[in-house]
Amino acid sequence: MGSPAQRQAVGDRIIHQSQFTILIRMENPVLILGAKGLGLVALDIFQRNNVIVYGLLDDDTTLHNTEIGEYTIMGSTDDDGFLKLIGKKCEAFVAVEERAVRRDLVEMLNDRRHVMPVNAIHDTAVISSFAEIGHGNLIAARAVVNAKATVGNLSLIQTGAVIEHGATVGDYANIGAGSIVGSGASIDDDAFIGSGVTIIAGVKIGKGASVGAGSVVVEDVPAKGRVFGNPAKKV
């Protein structure tokens, strides 16, 4: 079944493609790091996929020992009493929207537990069997990842977003709700695509670039560039 670092929640079969592995049914419970907005989305996804949730951790101490439904927010994300279970008795998912914090938590899991987070993929998402999905991604309700598309690691593919065939999404990227990444387009690491954006086929969005909500992007955006509008222009 592969190591814990390779286990990804999606359905009921295993696909091996280059360095990517999509595993559909997790054997172990999952511990969610982050108990706010994204944590609730992840909790819902795991519940819908019949994955047992061990509990949630969050660094907001006012949330500790409170409950979300039947699930307890048990402590902080650096609590060794819970972290020592990851990779042995449970998996982990990092559910924090702030990219820098998410990156720090993933590095902690790599360093202290030698694992990568699992994916959280909604049961209504459509993932082509010819797509490649990395680790630790959240792919929300009704999102589509089409044939020969690639999603790297730790990215957020929000509700109803579409990654068309042959498109590439890097690591730690955000694809906003209802956005369309056209065929053959590429979204580099750390890029932020707002809600309702259309990226025309073949366009390249550079590392750390930002595209404002509702924009139509018809030409390449350089690294750390900021664009908005229809057609999208530098801001």
Q: Report d(CA 61, CA 111) in Å as an integer.
A: 24
Choose the catalytic residue: 64, 114, 135, 165: 165
CA distances from 35 to 19, 41, 104, 122, 188 (A): 30, 9, 16, 18, 28
Residues whose CB is less than 8 angstroms from the CB of residue 60 and which lie 6 or more positions away in sequence, other chains included: 35, 36
DSSP 90-106: BEEEE---SHHHHHHHH
First-to-last alpha carbon distance for the chain, in angstroms, is: 48
* Bridge partners, residue 127, by sequence: 145
Cα–Cα distance for residue pair 95/74, rounded to 1 Å? 15
* DSSP strand pairing (150-151 vs 168-169): parallel
Reading the block at residue 49, the tokens are 């996929």
Q: Which helix (H) or strand (E) holds 45?
A: helix 37-48
Active-site annotation holds for 165: yes
Strands 204-205 and 180-181: unpaired
Q: Which are the catalytic amino acids?
A: 165
